[in-house]
Structure 1
Amino acid sequence: MKQKSIYQQFWRYAIPTIAAMLVNGLYQVVDGIFIGQYMGGEGLAGINVAWPVISVILGLGMMVGVGTGALASIKQGENDLAGAKQALATGMMALLALSPIVAIALWQFADEMILLQGAQGRMYELAMQYLDILIVGGVFALGSIAVPFLLRNDDSPNMATLLMVLGAVINIALDYWFIALLGWELTGAALATAIAQAVVTVLGIGYFFTSRAKMRLTLKDFKFQFHLLPKIFSIGLASFFMYAYGSFMVAIHNALFAEYGSVTLVGAYAILGYIVAFYYLIAEA
């Protein structure tokens, strides 16, 4: 019976997570279709050279999300609900504290990171359009990738999936509005992404203040427990390096394609990245 229970529990978490990642992968492909159709190879190239910079934000969000979720689960396994809530609240405050630091750092170095990938002219302009918006909205990028991990560790995998699906639908709808109808180029794509991330972050964090949450939070729980940060960061560090490695490889390829190929080749590499995202996201789930 115990083995059967573990098996059922595994699939209870695995199926919604895989479904959410597939939806997320589909959204990325549709996002690429909008950019490719309405902006061509230059648009795809612009977003591809911006991606390694954005990955820094996503990697940090995943590090905090994975670390916080795992530590909260450990505390729950020890029947220490108060400790689990402390870990959860500390993780959320860490995300909030990181966002201005990351935004300032990327604001200073994003330009150089784009230029190192060989971006020039129109490709450079489009990449900076995308980054200017998402760096400002970095707190939501951090939150949107961390929140699903926190929800799953609160025994709410279906809620995590629902939020990811909602975010994808909002993003696709706004992509059509901003890019196809208004012609806002990568500024529109970035706004669509930032708004979707904001919705996921706000609703996800709001869930922990409702009676449905096992680790229900109140404002009194938000006391920064500095001694928990090393544990959170050490647990989630591998997830950050996974993103860092991926973004480094994309940046290297972008630089080589820009140097020895053309903008079209960088755009073609972006299309390949959208396709590979399906496999990667399933494996991540």
Structure 2
Amino acid sequence: MNINKQDVRIFFRYVLPSIFSFALSGIYSIVDGYFIGNRLGDAGLSAVTIVYPIVAFIQAVGTGLGMGGAIYFSIERARGQDKEANRLIAIANWLMLGFSVLLTTLVLFYNAPMLKLLGASGNMLPLAQEYIIIISFGTGLQIFGTGLVPFIRNLGGSSFAMISMVSGFATNIVFDYLFVWVWEQGMTGAALATVLGQGLTMLFALAYLFRKGRFTMKIHLDQVLPATSSVVRVGLAPFGLAMSPNISLMIINRFSASYGGESAIAVYACIAYMISIISLILQGIGDGSQPLISRFYGEDNHRQLRSTQGLAYGFSLLLAFASCLILYVSRSQIGILFGTSVEVNQEVSAILPIFLVSVPFVAISRITTSGFYASQRVVLSYLLIFIEPVLMLVFMLILPPLFGGQIMIWWCTVFARILCAVLACGMAVSVKKRYLMEGKQYENSTNPKCNLKNPV
């Protein structure tokens, strides 16, 4: 593979701000757990964990719609179709607005059955409801906050996207401290802090797009259906990638409630928060390289397409192993960070190494998946995204009753992720052979559309 210094420079120029942004979004998810856990103990921490898949679903909808529009925007812009690119921004905005209204209504009126389905009961249920009702009123802020950021990255504003995320994150921390610890508003205060942080990110994103003259909602009625189809078809993949860990979380919580009870849910809450940060860092690599992959795909620039993907694989594996080492060394302090009981903290320290086994495999799966949807190979990305929770569910139905109850619940997660990575490798090799065959005519020629000094 031909990777030169300029490829590396451009890759990190896009990817590093994206990694930082996604890492912050992962810390977003643990901030509420930290403040609530240290104020309300195991019950509050378990309630935040139970409700988190709903919050993640809302944010994943924004990510999917924004990414679906941004990928097509980048490809069409690389092909010189600027009007078509603007139409994709418009339809993405309309879709985000529509889903904001829909999800606000659904969560506000049907939160109780949703939470019960996720395993909330006893003391956890009222705490979870208190949290999610506030979140429902800020649904639009969260969807636009996550959905506009991909457009910023595809316009070359990765650093600004990072700044907007940092600002929202800092706001969340400040208000969590004030609402939860100083003013003792409990779950309501934590939810308000989350909503206000996402709202600030949305305002930064809107300001950037208006300054660039790229925020629009103008689209002819006859273009709505084809544009919607394009955005949703591709957007399902990043939506699924954002949601997949939370589908896994729901499955694990449901089975853990049966085998290990509230303490097992609290144990996995701590582990899930840490693993989710690593997963989001890996997603940051994939989504950070997406503007380049989509651009090179639109330009038929096969050499730089493969170069970018190779860098993404190598860097993701490096960060995966480094993250595993850091978490392994600090495993005895993780439960303490969230204010858990001594027993739960000891269990976290004992169980965490099991989950670390799967992290390098997650890196392979995520980079492969993001590469597929960035180059419009959406069927392959769908398969990789949704097969993991399916495998996990199958394993959990079969293995724990036969081989060890709760401990096998943890191992089922690892087995599913390993198999998913093996499948990803096979699919990536097949696609790479096709790239090589298609790219021979480009290897020894210069594509006039490609100018790395002026990236999209």
Could you say what secondary structure the match of 1:119 adopts?
coil
> Does structure 1 residue 267 correspond to structure 2 residue 266?
yes
User: Partner of 1:255 in structure 2?
Assistant: 254
Going from structure 1 to structure 2, the CA distance change for 1:231 and 1:222 (only over 3 Å counts) comes to: closer
Q: Alignment length, in residue pairs?
A: 281
Which of 27-36 and 138-147 deviates more?
A: 27-36
1:173, 1:264 → 2: CA distance?
29
Q: Show CA shifts across 1:41-77 (max 9, x none).
A: 1111111111122222122111101101101101210
User: Partner of 1:160 in structure 2?
Assistant: 161
Which letter maps to 2:52?
A: W
RMSD of aligned Cα (Å): 2.1
Going from structure 1 to structure 2, the CA distance change for 1:27 and 1:182 (only over 3 Å counts) comes to: same
1:71, 1:134 → 2: CA distance?
30
> Does structure 1 residue 216 correspond to structure 2 residue 217?
no
> Does structure 1 residue 228 correspond to structure 2 residue 227?
yes
Instruction: Report 1:77-226 matches (<5 A).
Output: 77-210=78-211, 213=212, 216-217=214-215, 221=218, 225-226=223-224
2:261, 2:219 → 1: CA distance?
51
CA contact (8 A) 1:119 1:258 kept: no
Which letter maps to 2:42?
A: G
Q: Show CA shifts across 1:192-247 (max 9, x none).
A: 0001111111221222111xx2x53467x466641211101111111222234322
C-alpha displacement at 1:2, in angstroms? 9.6
Structure 2: gaps (5+ residues): 285-456
1:116, 1:76 → 2: CA distance?
44
Which of 261-270 and 68-77 deviates more?
A: 261-270
1:69, 1:3 → 2: CA distance?
27
Going from structure 1 to structure 2, the CA distance change for 1:218 and 1:20 (only over 3 Å counts) comes to: closer
Structure 1: gaps (5+ residues): none
Going from structure 1 to structure 2, the CA distance change for 1:48 and 1:142 (only over 3 Å counts) comes to: same
Q: Show CA shifts across 1:77-100 (max 9, x none).
A: 012222222211221121011111
User: Partner of 2:332 in structure 1?
Assistant: none
CA contact (8 A) 1:117 1:258 kept: no
Could you say what secondary structure the match of 1:121 adopts?
coil
Which letter maps to 2:191?
A: A
User: Partner of 1:243 in structure 2?
Assistant: 242
Which letter maps to 2:102?
A: I
2:162, 2:11 → 1: CA distance?
15
2:3, 2:38 → 1: CA distance?
52
TM-score, normalisation: structure 2:
0.58
Which letter maps to 2:246?
A: S
User: Partner of 2:279 in structure 1?
Assistant: 280
Which letter maps to 1:205?
A: L
Which letter maps to 1:242?
A: L
Which of 50-59 and 222-231 deviates more?
A: 222-231
Which of 42-51 and 259-268 deviates more?
A: 259-268
Q: Show CA shifts across 1:173-201 (max 9, x none).
A: 10000000111111111100001111111
CA contact (8 A) 1:42 1:122 kept: yes
User: Partner of 2:407 in structure 1?
Assistant: none
Q: Show CA shifts across 1:127-173 (max 9, x none).
A: 11111011121111111211221110111000100011111100011
CA contact (8 A) 2:90 2:216 kept: no
Instruction: Report 1:62-77 matches (<5 A).
Output: 62-77=63-78
2:56, 2:23 → 1: CA distance?
19
CA contact (8 A) 1:118 1:259 kept: no
2:230, 2:3 → 1: CA distance?
30
Which letter maps to 1:216?
A: R
User: Partner of 2:25 in structure 1?
Assistant: 24
Could you say what secondary structure the match of 2:51 adopts?
helix
1:193, 1:176 → 2: CA distance?
12
CA contact (8 A) 1:89 1:223 kept: no
Which entry has the higher C-alpha Rg, 1 or 2? 2
Which of 266-275 and 173-182 deviates more?
A: 266-275
User: Partner of 2:315 in structure 1?
Assistant: none
Could you say what secondary structure the match of 2:93 adopts?
helix
Which letter maps to 2:234?
A: I
TM-score, normalisation: structure 1:
0.91
CA contact (8 A) 1:65 1:91 kept: yes
1:237, 1:30 → 2: CA distance?
28
C-alpha displacement at 1:263, in angstroms? 2.5
CA contact (8 A) 2:111 2:133 kept: no
1:77, 1:165 → 2: CA distance?
29
